[in-house]
Amino acid sequence: MTAAWDLVIKGGTVVTPSGRSVADLAVAGGRIAAIGALDGIPAGAKASAVDARGMVVVPGGVDAHTHLAMPFKGGTTADDFASGSRAALLGGTTTIIDFAAPGPGGSLEKGLDAWHRKAEGESSVDYGFHMTMVGAPERSLREMDRLVRQGVVSFKLFTAYPDRLMSDDGAIFKALRRSRDNGALVSVHAENGPVIEALTREALAAGNRAPRFHALTRPMAAEAEAAARIIALAEMAGAPVYIVHVSAAASLAEIRRGRKRGVVVLAETCPQYLYLTAEEYERPGFEAAGFVMSPPLRPKGNETALWQALRDGEIQAVSTDHCSFFMKRHGRSPCKEDGRKDFSRIPNGAPGIGARMLLMWDAVQKGRITAERFVEATASSPARIFGLHPRKGNLAPGADADIVVIDPRKTHSFSASNNNLNVDYEPYEGRTVHGAVRDVFLRGRPMVRHHALVARAGGGTFLRRIPR
Ligand code: URP
Ligand code: ZN
Ligand code: ZN
């Protein structure tokens, strides 16, 4: 039996959502074969051994919210599946779920085909897709059923961006109701689009054109109102709902209210809402544009409620919403500079795919969350929510051997010069965290060893996910 093992990771502190222990972890055929007490597992004849003494061993991160190679205004985001997944791996993330957009004529299936072409042979991490829906005509609802059968089991609708992406309440309700029957999970970007549009027009008419007005025209109440509405729609549809990138304490209050009524509301936040505040919009020159994202960064103090909700398990997942745009012009790519004279033209989004795991591990070392909560929020819980359990986010026999070895004694400093991305800036530039990703294994294959990529790029596979 032991001779069949390919790899044994020895003597690390293995952390799962339910606890931690010093253990050895054996891998065979790309899956976890056994986990045992120190010295309980002898290395098999063929197994290579990795000394993890003094290290922390966690499941590979599952980032359930990325936008790679996303088309925007005639170009695409700065990072594609090749660069984004490389940064993900080096940062300890082995699975991503990216947002596919509808294709020509609004076809979900054509959009999905396009996303398969973008990712296949390019992604170095395993990947799934959520499908974005704009409205919910009968044709899309039928496509939704078919996508679920192809392992695309989650769909995102927007209450924001009236000009491009917004769906009305009726459409969101129809998608939710369909999800009740076909086992999909609907997620929603909650911000009141028409209110934001009115505030934006007012700001521009008054000559308020700097990046900071992006935040001032997207108030927290606009998020909380949309969250409350979505929860009511989910309640009427009898379906669960997942609220992406929750940024405002006021939204948490609505989520709590909905849950008290029995609505199944799942909530995600992102490191930027935990670590960064609206103070970034006071940066000199045009630097603030790098932090223009939706929802925007919130006033200092708001983040305290998010940390508390993360500790308490009120927030289930921490994902990145990685959506990177160059600051400066690079060929035809849209860039932040496009909005130098008008904040509403700054492409929304920021990079973060490689920083998430270490930012959140730093919170463990600082005592803000436990190591178990770290594992839950960065891997196990997104895997469960999005139909990847028991394969992903799970250090247990039979699961994919996606394993990350963190050196808790090392530090890591974030910089555009070392973030492994194409994008030309780093939101956490100069920030140092405790902990460094030493090794990463994807389905048992060494991808990162001693902080360096060691594997051929592009070996990630598409994950057919399981409906609820
Ligand atoms: O600003 C952001 N978040 N851009 C990405 C698209 C979205 O809304 O998630
Ligand atoms: Zn969004
Ligand atoms: Zn997003």
Boundary (domain end) residue, out of 317, 351, 379:
379
Q: What's this model's pTM, rounded to 2 decimal places?
A: 0.98
349 lines ligand 1 (CB under 6 A): yes
Assigned domain for 105 exists: yes
Closest to 220 measured CA to CA, from 298, 279, 305, 289: 298
What is the average pLDDT value for the chain, to the nearest integer? 96
One domain for residues 143 and 275: yes
Counting the structural domains of the chain, the total is 2
Tell whether 429 is covered by a domain.
yes
Q: Would residue 349 count as lying in a domain?
A: yes
Q: Are residues 147 and 234 in the same domain?
A: yes
- Does one domain contain both 153 and 176? yes
Look at residues 352, 379, 406 and tell me which one is the last residue of a structural domain.
Answer: 379
Q: Is 130 in the pocket of ligand 1 (CB under 6 A)?
A: no
Same domain for 17 and 146: no
Instruction: Give the dihedral sign, CA 302/308/311/313.
Output: negative
Length of the chain: 468
| Residue 460 forms part of a structural domain | no
Residues 40 and 133 in one domain: no
- Closest ligand 1 atom to residue 160 Cα is 8
Domain that holds residue 18: 2-58+396-453
pLDDT (0 to 100) of residue 332:
82
Residue 373 lies in a domain: yes
357, 228: one domain: yes
- The pLDDT assigned to 38 comes to 47
Read off the CATH number of the domain in which 31 is found.
2.30.40.10
With a 6 A CB cut-off, is 293 part of the ligand 1 pocket? Answer: yes
The predicted pLDDT at position 100 comes to 98
Regions of the chain with pLDDT less than 50: 1, 38
Check whether residue 34 and residue 90 sit in a common domain. no
Percent composition of the chain: helix, strand, coil (DSSP 3-state, to 5): 35, 25, 40
Whether 298 is covered by a domain: the verdict is yes
Residues 355 and 416 placed together within one structural domain of the fold: no
Burial of 328 (0-12, 13-18, 19+ CB in 10 A): exposed
Q: Which residues pair with 32 in a beta bridge?
A: 27
Give the pLDDT score at 45. Answer: 56
Which CATH number belongs to the domain containing residue 209 in this structure? 3.20.20.140
Residue 21 and residue 118 in one domain:
no
Whether residue 442 sits in one domain with residue 421: yes
Mutate which of 70, 294, 322, 346 for ligand 1 pocket (most atoms within 8 A of beta carbon): 294
Does 421 fall in a domain? yes
- Residue 284 in tokens: 């000199």
Cα Dmax for the chain: 74
Burial of 16 per CB tally in 10 Å (0-12, 13-18, 19+): buried
Residues 64 and 203 in one domain: yes
Judge if the beta carbon of residue 323 lies within 6 A of ligand 1.
yes
Q: Which atom of ligand 1 is nearest to the CA of 67?
A: 5
Regarding the beta carbon of 385 and ligand 1, being less than 6 Å apart is answered no
**Is 67 close to ligand 1, i.e. is its CB under 6 Å away?**
yes
Measured in angstroms, how far is the CA atom of residue 257 from the centroid of ligand 3?
A: 25
Structural domain includes residue 389 = no
Which amino acid is located at 391 in the chain? Answer: R
Q: Write the residue with the smallest CA distance to atom 8 of ligand 1.
A: 294
Which atom belonging to ligand 1 lies closest to the Cα atom of 189? 8
Q: Do 233 and 158 belong to one domain?
A: yes
H/E stretch holding 310 reads helix 302-312
